[in-house]
Structure 1
């Protein structure tokens, strides 16, 4: 990897920060100790909970790691559309015997308080999703020695990250599981079908900016990693591949669903959060996805109780089963072993390419 990453991990593999519980300290530590870069997800957590997870992770590994923050969100929601969706979900609330959530929750995810903690007690890497921090914020992290990474889904977003002073960009292709990290969610756009494939986006961003690229989106095998690195990425970020590992904090139902023949594919949907996110197509997405408004994080708060109740009831048809397009290739291994397997596959793919070029 280029010098900006050379001291972080021996291998060009980053474990994606998956908000909602999967990216726990145990997972991040296992990835770090295997030579990758583990990440904690601060999204949806209180500042105190974030701090406690960092403390736990530091007790589990001496290796560098990262923390991901959600950017504050502008209010784009149409209150009347949110209320219509609330009415539509009344049957779900009755079925799971749980009330729908309050949509008046904070839209800034305690961003400023989390910044204060990370600037006061720096970690090696901080990444940002759903927007780009100001130059002042990125400069402040630079002074502490923290490397900064901004998630981008387009050339324009990558250029904004470079202009603001980010050290690297995480280029997220349309294949990625979970939320699309777009900086602005246009409520007038459908938001569930548009996007650029990872290899094309790497090429576009590489020609537009001078920042190192971390490639994310559907990567599950070492051969795919080799392709992303050959296309110009400095490292790769994998989420779905690590979601099913032994150390992952993801719900057991979520883990099993990745390779369950019942779930035949993924889809981008606003059904659970109001923002486009890729998950396994289940009953909830089929019934409610077409009607969900662009209203993040209001819809996230609205459906939080339903998702929890579905998990408690053992019903994956009501859960947000975030997954990338490569979910069927998931391997239920310890995270450290998965890193070793991926590196072996990467080296084999590189050797094959070298041999082919020599003949």
Structure 2
């Protein structure tokens, strides 16, 4: 793999389109419009937290000795450096300003709960445990590839945090939940590695950095994903305190994760996303995104000894939050692209995968998000008897809908 770097200096705003980003093309790097897709996608997805000025670095990655037209493409990848006066990108509206509301359920129940502090504390603990769980051994390259995705800066750790919150809600011990929480993140990372592959979603970047296969190659990315799935299951078995969780419960946890990622879960959703019709969007969203949310909440409940009724409510809750998060992501992306730049991208990219916005438009997607928010909060009503312990899960719903904070200052 040959790697070369070049700086890209964007033009100033045009007077007729004050929010438009004009990109100065560099001879030899921008002769093919497809090569600009990653940069445009990066600007839309990752420069969103604050109104700021940026400089842009453009990296040119050339892959050689690989078969197939897609693999022969040169991939562009951009990173942003703050406080350099070369690019001004407008601050994106919060989801609440975009009228994704839930009229039937108020968000005041979680208004006084500091979710960011709660989440950040758990995130630090989980990051440390993940670091310890994947030491570099022989052969080093596969472990480095695994660590690259699992320990990636910018990862929110939503599945493991939801698992811990559900466990603590029902009186479980946080220490009992950590091994499963780490396993969920390993499985989640593995699914993202595989999703980004050229034969799947064909995404050269993830969380503002090159995807795993962009750095390590497709062969190593496939192996890293394959290794992370069983490592997650093994971590549950070897690290969960047996004095806190009976073995029968651990078997149910492992079964739940296997169901969520297998041929009736995320794998099915990915297949239909690639090959199925557009009107299968509900099935796709439920399987690709709802399953991980559902699995995270249910595993937390299982570790705490939840009864069948409680597990069913956690199942409804987690599924709704998982889908809600993705639908809001799609709406935010569409809303942030209401400039000429989105018209440009539509002309040059045939995007793989399906979304509510892509199939039904923003207006219906906003309504779907509101319904999902209501459904998630409705599922928690039976847990209000536990008092403040339910607040983290309520707050997750509000965060999924409005993205009221970020972890940008912590990565």
| TM-score between the two structures when normalised by the length of structure 2 | 0.27
**Higher strand fraction: Structure 1 or Structure 2?**
1
- Could you tell me the TM-score, scaled by structure 1's length? 0.30
